[in-house]
Structure 1
Amino acid sequence: MTYTIDRYPCEDSPRLGAMTLHPTPESVPRARRWFRKFIAPYDPLCSVDDCTLMISELVTNAILYGRSDDEWVVRVEWYREGTSLRVEVHNPGFPASVQLRRPDADDAHGRGLFLVASIAESWHSGPSRFGGTVVSFLMSGAWPA
């Protein structure tokens, strides 16, 4: 299986890019690097550091909680929606299993979605059009009106 990057989205589409990743720990830093590289030409006004942190958390969750009997991938896509940036992370897990937790200070896990909810304008989870689950976040003010 190879990694896939969509560098040249269709002009009629609001999608700015996409990547397909193996469900392995090495994919988390790869997702950060590729997102930084491929969002840079669009020069977003929102914090790319915040976006890469949230992508890291969501890709990690997708790898940990995605399930399939067949070979599977994690798919990350990013879109321009007016002045906002929307990022989606897809995996073959079950949408009902996505839960925002409020971890205690001594909890070792459970902060990923809490970070996303704290940083992003909004977040959403539900069924993915690829099957499984999608978790997305929206960063408002990414581009001027």
Structure 2
Amino acid sequence: MNDATEGCGSPDQELLGAMTLYPLAESVPRARRWFLKFIEPHGIACPLDDCLLMISELVTNAILYGRAEEPWLVRVEWSRVGTRLRVDVHNAGLPACVRMRRPAADVAHGRGLCLVNALADSWHVGPSLFGGTVVSFVVADAWQS
């Protein structure tokens, strides 16, 4: 696991957007659309397709694995930290349940965190400030200095 805690809560962190989603399958494309809509004015310079894929994987995981006794939501936040993009996906699950799998070639699922690990400069899992779990990824040089 990579560590994306660098810049978390730092003075140069600027929240650019956030959304709250129901834990339903249709929330995954909604998260992609809203991220694209609200990140565009900020002139991001990193590959947006990579960001959209990672957001899709983390929101999907949050929906599939988030658990709570009462109704809950998935929260997605994206921030600028210097020249880095940080995306946080919060869910109602337990941090200890998040792990990177190594599925067999003939298995259709289980590669989400492997993709995030391959595409992000770093990633992190831990307790969410909202309760439950947050999984974050960072893309370095998302903006030119």
Q: TM-score, normalised by structure 2?
A: 0.90
- Structure 2 gap segments, 5+ residues each: 1-11
SS in 2 for 1:90: strand
Corresponding residue number in structure 2 for 1:9? none
Q: Is 1:133 equivalent to 2:128 in the alignment?
A: no
Cα distance in 2 between the residues matched to 1:139 and 1:91: 21
Give the distance between the partners of 1:19 and 1:122, measured in 2 at CA.
22
RMSD over equivalenced CA pairs, Å: 1.1
The residue that corresponds to 1:21 in the other structure is 21
Identity across matched positions, percent: 67
Q: Does 2:43 correspond to 1:51?
A: no
Q: Flag the structure with more relative contact order, 1 or 2, with Cα contacts below 8 A and sequence separation at least 6.
A: 2
* Per-residue Cα deviation, 1:93-125 (whole angstroms, up to 9, x for no partner): 000001011221111211000000000001000
TM-score (norm 1): 0.90
Q: How many Å apart are 1:13 and its aligned residue?
A: 6.0
The residue number in structure 2 matching 1:92 is 92
* Structure 1 unpaired stretches of 5+: 1-11
> How many residue pairs get matched?
134
- Between stretches 101-110 and 135-144, larger displacement belongs to 101-110
Rounded Cα–Cα distance in structure 2 between residues aligned with 1:133 and 1:57: 15
Query: 4+ residue runs of structure 1 moved beyond 2 angstroms?
Result: none
Task: Map 1:103-122 onto structure 2 (within 5 A).
Answer: 103-122=103-122
